[in-house]
Amino acid sequence: MLAQVISLWRHAAELGRYSDEELGDWPDLESCKRRFPQPFVDVAFTSDAEFDVWTDDLHERDWVWWSGSVVGAAAKIDINSESMPITLWPLTHVIETAGGSILYQDMWISTSDCEIVFDLHRKGAVCIRCTDVKDRRE
């Protein structure tokens, strides 16, 4: 499942964020849609309005994907944020569309603690870990 989430998120990451000025202007709605696999767009969004809200949140996010790894029977995704609080809806929507579920979403969790959480919820689990810039040293 992590491979599917990474594959879908790669399309989102290529769009960048509001602060990625070197990528140029944010594309219009139809251009954004064409960047994603059509089956994802068809399943993930019930309307153009929902896709538009999702891309707005995607554009405005103050965080980036830091890393992703398999932990036992589940996945752990680390997020690096420049400020708090943040909305992870753009990413959680991708995870849930890919068939996963969020088991833990908080400021920090160690890999060993993730294993405990994942053992409780075996299939299709994703753990999202948020860090701020100062926490990169760990």
- CA-CA distance, 67 to 129, in Å (whole number)? 10
Distance between CA atoms of 134 and 138, rounded to whole angstroms? 9
Residue type, 10: R
User: How much is the average pLDDT of 120-135?
Assistant: 48
Q: With 50 as the cut, is the pLDDT of residue 51 above it?
A: yes
Contact by Cβ (8 Å): 72, 116: no
Q: What percent of the chain has pLDDT over 70?
A: 76
Residue 134 token pair:
């100062």
| Residue-averaged pLDDT of the chain | 78
Q: Which residue would you say has higher pLDDT here, 124 or 127?
A: 127
- Residue 63 tokens, joined: 């965080």
Model confidence band, residue 23 (pLDDT cutoffs 50, 70, 90): confident
Q: Two tokens at 79?
A: 């997020």
Q: Whole-model pTM?
A: 0.75
Instruction: Please count the helices (runs of H) and the strands (runs of E) in the chain.
Output: 6, 4
Q: How far apart are CA 125 and CA 99, in angstroms?
A: 9
pLDDT of residue 113: 64
pLDDT digits 0-9 by tens, 62-85: 888 888 888 777 788 888 887 777
Q: Tell me which range, 11-20, 49-58, 80-89, 129-138, is most confidently predicted by mean pLDDT.
A: 49-58
Q: Which of 108, 110, 88 is CA-nearest to residue 100?
A: 88
